[in-house]
Amino acid sequence: MIYLDNSATTKPYKEVLDSYIAVSTNYFGNPSSLHSLGGEAEKLLHHSREVIASLLKVEHREIIFTSGGTESNNLAIKGSALSKKHLGNHIITTSVEHPSVTNAVEDLRKEGFEVTILPVNGEGRVSPEQVEKAMKKETILVSIIHVNNETGVIQPIEEIKKVVKQFPHASLHVDHVQGIGKVQLNMEGIDLCSISSHKFHGLKGNGVLVVKQGVKLHPLFSGGNQEWTLRSGTENVAGIVAMTKALRMTMELSEKRLDSIQSLKEYLMNELTERKELAVNTPSHDSAPHIVNFSVPKVKSEVLVHALGEKGIFVSTTSACSSKRKAPSKTLSAMGLSKDRSETAIRISMTFESTKEELDIFLKEVAKAIDTIKQVTR
C-alpha cells in the first residue's frame, strides 16, 4: 500500500494507539469525579494540557480541548462573533477556506452579520493589503487558513497579524489544521487557533482550540462547564493523552525530517511539471512541504483516484470533506483556473514516512492509468 492522502487523515502512530488503550483501560474515570479514579484522570488531562501548551508555546489555560478541527473552527468563529456582537458585526475571511469555516461564516451571515470574503490571486493567496482595505471599526473577526488543505499554499499570517492588531475589537482566528507539524506558525499575535489530532497521527475525534487570554467566546454547548466553561462535555481523556503523544512525536520528527519531505515535494513537482499531459496547481514557493496538487485535463479525477486505488495507491481529489460531491475544486476555481482544470484535480499529501520509491511507483502508475482512461474514453 502506498498512502498519499495524509491531508485527509494520517495513520496513528503505534505509540498513540498504545497510549489510548492504556488510558482507556486503567484511567477510565470521569475527570470531574471527586474520587481517586477521577482524580487520576484529571491529572492526565492537566498534564496533557501543559505539554500541548508547551509544544505550541502558549499558556496552559489557553488550551481548549474539542472534538476536532470542525468544532474548533466553529467555536472560534461563532463563539467570537456572538460574544462581540455588541461591538460590531463585520467578519472577514477568504474564498479558499475549509468548509467548516465557510459554512460557519455563512450561518452568521444569515443571522445578520456582515461578511467580507477576500478573493485570492492566481496562486491562491490573499495579501495583507487586501485585509487592511477590508478592515473597519465594526470588524470583530478575521478568519484565515494558514495552509490551504487542497493546494498547500501558505497565507502571509505574520503580515496579516500586524494589520488586525491595529483594530482593538477584531480577533484573528487561524485554521492551522493542515500546517501543524509541517509549517511553523508563531502563535504570538494570534487570538484563536485550531488544530486537529488526526492530521498529525493522532486519533479522530480530538482537537484543540487555542484561545488567548482575554479573548471572549460564547460557548456553543450548554452543560457542565468543562474546559473553562467554553466547551461543556466530559473530556475524552484517552483521546487527549493520545493526541498529546502524537503532537510531541510529530514535532520531534519535524525537526529531523522536514528537509526530507521538502526534497520529496520538489522531486515530485519537477517530475509532474515535465509531463505535458499534466498541469501542476501548487506553486513552488510559499507552499507546504507535504502537499502537491495537479490536474489531468480531460480525465475525471474520481476515475483516476479509483484506478490508482486498484493498484493500492491512495490519493484524493479536493479536500476529504468535499471530494464525494464531485464538484469543481472551490480553491482552484477561486484561483481563476478553468472548470476543466478545477474538475480534474488530484491532491498528493505526504508524511514523514513517505519515500522516493513510493513516489516513483506512483508516477509510473499514474502515467499508465491516464493512458488507459484516455483510450477507454476516446
Instruction: State how far Cα 280 lies from the chain centre.
Output: 21
The continuous run of DSSP H or E covering 54 comes out as helix 36-56
Total residues found in the chain within this entry: 378
Q: Half-sphere exposure of 162 toward its Cβ, with a 13 Å CA cutoff?
A: 7
Packing angle of the helix pair 36-56, 237-273 (nearest 10 deg): 30
d(CA 47, CA 176): 23
Task: Decide if 321 is catalytic.
Answer: yes
Q: Which residue type does 37 have?
A: L
| Helices (H) then strands (E): counts for the chain | 11, 12
**By three-state DSSP, how is residue 235 classified?**
coil
CB-based contact 88:138 (threshold 8 Å) = yes
Strand segments, DSSP code E, in the chain are 2-3, 63-66, 90-94, 114-118, 139-145, 171-175, 192-196, 207-211, 279-280, 291-295, 313-314, 345-349
CB-based contact 17:246 (threshold 8 Å) = no
Which three cell numbers mark 133? 482595505
- Residue 358 has phi, psi (to 5 degrees) of -65, -45
User: Out of 37, 87, 115, 321, which one is annotated catalytic?
Assistant: 321
**By three-state DSSP, how is residue 117 classified?**
strand
Q: What are the DSSP calls for 162-224, one per residue?
A: HHHHTSTT-EEEEE-TTTTTTS----TT-SEEEEEGGGTTS-TT-EEEEE-TT-----S--SS
Give the residue numbers marked as catalytic: 321
